[in-house]
A and B are shown apart, each in its own frame.
Chain A
């Protein structure tokens, strides 16, 4: 039978079978389109603990669903589908499937922290949004976006050397995201620099590019940071039951 109000049904719940016979009745093809049930079939009982294990999500269990966060939210004013109260509820009750459905909205949080100040239970909804976006990434629900690669490369350099070199960050970023280094804006920037920058600074810049000056006594700091980062990653991987490697 044709379905007249398809807009009301989630597309993934509309199912056609190429060949299906039930009790001797042929129910194949478009004229026998099925609507799958939309009820939530189970809870993921670990979901709240998983989010709480990630930075920012620690206080999620305090939420009493008052909606102050959603009311205060900058993004919600523009996109009503952006609803932190709703996601906090989904996480607390373990409705993972429903949460993952919004994976392309959750990370749009602009971190204005209005919710942080509105929340009467000190849940830190902004932190929960951050933790949830991180969770979606770690669980592989969202693809690794170029900006994440950039962040990774950036922090990697800071941890390793105690400083960043823009040229090196860009170079690695473009390489890892399969983009040519010869970006028009970059060419313009560099040629502009060469033309207008004082010679002394240009020489200094060139020297630094070739010899990579080091931060003095960085090794101990690097080791301490690395130890902490590894420790946190191990905790997170354990909490999320990911294999030893996973994402950074």
Chain B
């Protein structure tokens, strides 16, 4: 086992999983995160119940955080960034923003994503009308216990529209990817809204529904059959207001009818953008980004978790939209890759 630690950058699900796996295998780990606490998006953005376990994010991810924080093989550095990263596999030297240096055998980038900023789709009213919110805000309403209420006057909505593909699958604004999780998350949120407000009707406006894999039954159909959530195939043209309620305009493409429907609350199912820091990360770690701006993976099959630079590995939503459970799996895969890399240099030195 290499005596030098593995540097894990980012303390979200992928980073926590990688750090924990390495530490449990007896490998020293330095875990840095730019925020003041670990947990990543699920904790920082205050997610409510997670898909598919229905566990509260603060319990599920919080458990991972305490498992890492209490581990004697892990040194956690919050509010810390990596400023410089030099050297070769087995002998990297990272200079951190607090001035300290870390000699690392390998590093894992688990730097995650950034939520799409809905202001970039002004026609859908976010930033103009207070009752137009994002899925992240609704997650917070649920996780904080405040309940789902219209931000404008605090009333409980009678009718909620969830617009899918906000900041996903949209060439006009350079987001050509499917963010993968928003359909399922929206179905889950719709059910939670219906449970909390039984008199509130929830409509989901979609272009395609991608509740992939096993989510089909538990989310797509359960939301319709048990929770009476309505799915309407329509790309919304604009969201306006009449002073009291919001007006959602578009075309119901299955019946070829223009629609102009009043709503109390409109929820943007925001997609996953590349981390806003990816340009900096790419330059500091000297790794290539792919054409979308995520951290590139040169090989899909043969070299799991590798970036364009040997000894630098990547896991989770840093490489593209990813689910929490897959991020955790990738974290563990990257830990394995880093461990192999770190120990092969040890073996080479011994020979």
Q: Which 7 A-B pairs have the closest CB atoms?
A: A39-B258, A39-B260, A40-B259, A45-B201, A40-B257, A89-B254, A61-B225
A41 to B259, CA, bound (A): 6
Q: A37-B258, A37-B260, A40-B259 are in contact. List 15 more A-B contacts (CB 8 A).
A: A38-B257, A39-B249, A39-B257, A39-B260, A40-B252, A41-B261, A42-B262, A43-B201, A45-B159, A61-B224, A65-B254, A89-B255, A93-B232, A93-B252, A95-B252
A43 to B252, CA, bound (A): 12
Selected from B201, B230, B259, B262, the residue in CB contact (under 8 A) with A92 is B230
- Asked if B228 is at the interface (CB within 8 A of a chain A CB), the reply is yes
- Asked if A212 is at the interface (CB within 8 A of a chain B CB), the reply is no
Complex interface: chain B residues within 8 A of A86 (CB): 255
A15 to B249, CA, bound (A): 23
Complex interface: chain B residues within 8 A of A98 (CB): 255, 257
28 contacts between A and B (CB under 8 A): A37-B258, A37-B260, A38-B257, A38-B258, A39-B249, A39-B258, A39-B259, A39-B260, A40-B252, A40-B259, A42-B262, A43-B201, A43-B203, A43-B230, A43-B261, A45-B159, A45-B201, A61-B224, A61-B225, A86-B255, A89-B255, A90-B255, A93-B232, A93-B252, A95-B255, A95-B257, A98-B255, A98-B257
Complex interface: chain B residues within 8 A of A30 (CB): none
> What is the distance, in angstroms, from A79's C-beta to the closest C-beta of chain B?
18
- Asked if A168 is at the interface (CB within 8 A of a chain B CB), the reply is no
Instruction: Convert B176-198 into 0s and 1s, putting 1 for each residue whose CB lies closer than 8 angstroms to a CB of A.
Output: 00000000000000000000000
Given A86-B255, A93-B252, residue A42 in contact with residue B224 (CB < 8 A): no
A45 to B202, CA, bound (A): 10
> What is the distance, in angstroms, from A90's C-beta to the closest C-beta of chain B?
7
Pick the most buried of A40, A48, A61, A93: most chain B CB atoms within 10 A of its CB.
A93
Instruction: Convert A44-57 into 0s and 1s, putting 1 for each residue whose CB lies closer than 8 angstroms to a CB of B.
Output: 01001000000000
Q: Are B225 and A41 in contact (CB under 8 A)?
A: no
Given A61-B225, A98-B255, residue A93 in contact with residue B261 (CB < 8 A): no
Q: Are B260 and A40 in contact (CB under 8 A)?
A: yes
Complex interface: chain A residues within 8 A of B249 (CB): 39
Complex interface: chain A residues within 8 A of B230 (CB): 43, 92-94
- Asked if A62 is at the interface (CB within 8 A of a chain B CB), the reply is yes
A142 to B311, CA, bound (A): 75
